[in-house]
Structures are given as structure tokens and as C-alpha cells.
Amino acid sequence: MTHNSIELTGISKSYGELTALGKIDLTIKRNEILTLLGPSGCGKTTLMRIIAGFETPTTGKILIDGKDSTTLAPERRPVNMVFQKYALFPHLDVFDNVAFGLRLKKTPKDEIKREVTKALELVQLESYKNRWISELSGGQAQRVALARALVNRPAVLLLDEPLAALDLKIRHHMLNEIKRIHEETSTTFVYVTHDQDEAMILSDRVVLLNKGGIEQVGGPEDMYWSPRTLFAAKFFGDTNIVNGVYHQNGKGSGHVQLPFGRYDYASKSNIGTGPVHVSIRPETLSITPAQGQPSDGEFVGKVKDTSFIGNRVIYRVAVADGTLDLKCQQLPTPGTHTLSPGTQVMLACKPESFVVLPA
Ligand code: ATP
């Protein structure tokens, strides 16, 4: 019988008065890359440490590979963790740090050499194998920590912001490495980050946490295009939040009145008539220099500032007689010029990409 990799039921954790985690119910599928995403202090690390066995939950139950592991010691779980702070042994060199777990398991010497070398190659530190930990940069130390966890080939690898100390270029390289390693090892990866780009690049599914509770669980595209709460809309990617009023006409049909226009919008969730927040992604707004009168669905604005970032141009545009700023994003093409601040522009939006949330 195949089990899910991890099943958490009614998990909570309190430290005295402080509730670090509310009641968490979550199933982690075998071999998926699942990301725990959320702002600082939302409980990501606490949840990770409960899975690893370094913390005992105040309430709830954990099954790992179908086995009740709620009170099982960390070393008896088929789980390895890469810590935010490296937790390496300063009295051992790089090679011996990575070899540590294999030596505990009494692995034959030649196999240790082979596996450790492979793991160090994976994190591009093979030439550092005889260095002391104190001779490494923070980023290098974190890569040793990653190699040390991977060398044990755990059933579940827990990664707590493992790339936070690395510079952007190495981080992107390592994200792809982590994906490749995941494919090669058929291991369940649980990855903690507060960086939504990392979460989107890596994850099969993302768990968005907020104040110790689960805000939303889904695939990256689902989370991006169909956030279910204002928090999720704002946290996952860049967006414009515009206040408006929804008028429900009949079952699932209606329109939303925004400061710059009225748009037909069929609500999937029967939100009823009332004030709403509408999330409008910057890339769903088109922007052109103003010519003539706005046609249906268009509205006028004035460019306030522009940022050319190479693969995109971001505009901040004042609309609705200057009472509201909207962020728009365009794909630049060679030969076209970025619109300058002060330019009168015509904007158009796609109501089908609106996310309308009750206020
Ligand atoms: P970060 O991204 O900053 O690492 P996080 O989402 O991982 O944050 P946690 O470290 O899980 O957050 O902490 C959740 C809450 O629990 C925070 O308010 C934190 O201060 C608190 N907390 C964590 N560990 C303890 C502890 N040992 N004693 C008391 N409070 C704690």
C-alpha cells in the first residue's frame, strides 16, 4: 500500500501565550516538492521542525510514510534537514562533515568516498573538501550543509531557506540543481522560504502560511491567478488592489464598479452585492499612448514613473482623475521606446483576469 509521504492532522504549537501554529491539516504527497511560504514569523520553521521531530506539537498527529511519528525521535525518522543556520561541525573538515551520517551508519570507506565526492560535486565544492568550516563563506557553508543532508538519501528532505545566504546567480543555479536532484532521487522535498519567486520556480504545490494558519494551498499558477484571500493576492506576486463595489444581478452574473469604469464580471463564488477588493495583475493591463476618446473598456491615465528592467517595463500610472495609481507591466520590444513620465495614456484591462474578493 502506498501512503502519502506526510500527513499532519490538527497540528498546533504554542509557546506559553504565543500560538506559533494554529490547527494545521496538511497532506504532503510522496515525491512532491512542497513549499512552505509566508512572511517572517508565520510559523514555517516551527512546522518544519515538528516534521523533523525537533519540536513536539502541542496538539495533533503526524504520520510519516503511514507511520505515527508524533513522538518519534528525529534520528528515527526517515527525514533529513538543511538548516537556515548551517549547524556544521567546526572541528571537522568539509569532507568529514558530509561523511558524518554515512560513518554513523557504518558505510564502507570506499562508498563513503564515492558518495561524499558526488555530493560535493553536486554543490560545486569538490575542491574544498579539505577546508575547515571556519575557512568557508556563509554560502559555501550552506552548500556543505546541503551536501551533508543529500548524502544520506533521505525519504524526506526538509530545506529551511537553504539558499538565503547565496548570491542571486548561485541561488538560481542551485534552484535548478535542487530540481534536478529531486528528479534523480525520487525524494519528497519540503522547502521553507519567504521568497515567492523561489516557491514558484521550485514547487509542485505551495502552502501559504499566515499567522500560524494555512491561507491557501495550490500549484504556483493556481496561487498566482486564483488567490482566495487578499493576503494571498498581495503576497503571491505583484498586484494592484482596487476598491470597488460588486453588483450581483442574478446567479453568478453581475458587474463590478471601479473608480475608472464598470465591468461585467461573473462571480464564481456568489459573493453578493457589496464592497469588494479587486486584484488586477500589472501584466493584464495594456498601456498605449492616448489617441482620441477611450473606447469600451478603456480609460485614460498619466504616466507617473517608469522602470525599464530589460525584459519588462513597469509603469506607475495615475488614473481616475489622479485619485488612484495603477502599476502596469509591458514586454518591451526592440525599437520601441519606454513612455516618459507625464505621457497621457490609454489603459485597458481584462475583467476575466480580475480576482474579486469581498471587502
Ligand atoms: P522566519 O521566516 O523569520 O524564519 P518563520 O515563519 O519560520 O519565520 P517561526 O520561526 O516558525 O517563523 O516562528 C513562529 C512564531 O513562533 C514566531 O512568533 C516566533 O517568535 C515564535 N517562536 C518560534 N520558536 C520559539 C521558541 N522556541 N520559543 C518561543 N517562541 C518561539
Asked if residue 254 has its Cβ within 6 Å of ligand 1, the reply is no
pTM tops 0.75: yes
Asked if residue 40 has its Cβ within 6 Å of ligand 1, the reply is yes
d(CA 69, ligand 1 centre) in Å: 22
Per-residue pLDDT at 2: 61
Give the CATH number of domain 6-231: 3.40.50.300
Distance between CA atoms of 72 and 56, rounded to whole angstroms?
A: 9
Asked if residue 332 has its Cβ within 6 Å of ligand 1, the reply is no
d(CA 326, ligand 1 centre) in Å: 35
Q: What is the pLDDT of residues 228-254, one digit of tens each?
A: 999 999 998 899 999 999 998 877 789
Domain boundaries, the chain: 6-231, 240-359
Q: What is the pLDDT of residues 254-303, one digit of tens each?
A: 999 999 999 999 877 778 889 999 999 999 999 999 888 888 889 999 99
Per-residue pLDDT at 287: 94
Contacts of 105 (CB under 8 A, 6+ apart): 152
What is the average pLDDT across 326-347?
91
What is the average pLDDT across 27-46?
95
Asked if residue 44 has its Cβ within 6 Å of ligand 1, the reply is yes
d(CA 142, ligand 1 centre) in Å: 21
Q: How many residues does the chain have?
A: 359
SS (H, E, C) the chain: CCCCCEEEEEEEEEECCEEEEEEEEEEECCCCEEEEECCCCCCHHHHHHHHHCCCCCCEEEEEECCEECCCCCHHHCCEEEECCCCCCCCCCEHHHHHHHHHHHCCCCHHHHHHHHHHHHHHCCCHHHCCCEHHHCCHHHHHHHHHHHHHCCCCCEEEEECCCCCCCHHHHHHHHHHHHHHHHHHCCEEEEEECCHHHHHHHCCEEEEEECCEEEEEECHHHHHHCCCCHHHHHHCCCCEEEEEEEEEEECCEEEEEECCEEEECCCCCCCCCEEEEEEECHHHCEEEECCCCCCCCEEEEEEEEEEECCCCEEEEEEECCCCEEEEEEECCCCCCCCCCCCCEEEEECCHHHCEEEEC
Question: In this structure, which residue's CA is closest to atom 19 in ligand 1?
Answer: 41
From the alpha carbon of 192, which atom of ligand 1 is closest?
Answer: 7
Question: In this structure, which residue's CA is closest to atom 2 in ligand 1?
Answer: 40
Asked if residue 41 has its Cβ within 6 Å of ligand 1, the reply is yes
d(CA 323, ligand 1 centre) in Å: 40
Which one is the CATH code of 240-359: 2.60.120.280, 3.40.50.920, 2.40.50.100, 3.10.690.10? Answer: 2.40.50.100
Asked if residue 270 has its Cβ within 6 Å of ligand 1, the reply is no
Q: Report whether pLDDT(85) > 70.
A: no
From the alpha carbon of 212, which atom of ligand 1 is closest?
Answer: 14
| Ligand 1, pocket-test mutation among 42, 81, 198, 208, most atoms within 8 A of CB | 42
Per-residue pLDDT at 180: 82
Asked if residue 16 has its Cβ within 6 Å of ligand 1, the reply is no
Asked if residue 15 has its Cβ within 6 Å of ligand 1, the reply is yes
Question: In this structure, which residue's CA is closest to atom 18 in ligand 1?
Answer: 41
Asked if residue 49 has its Cβ within 6 Å of ligand 1, the reply is no
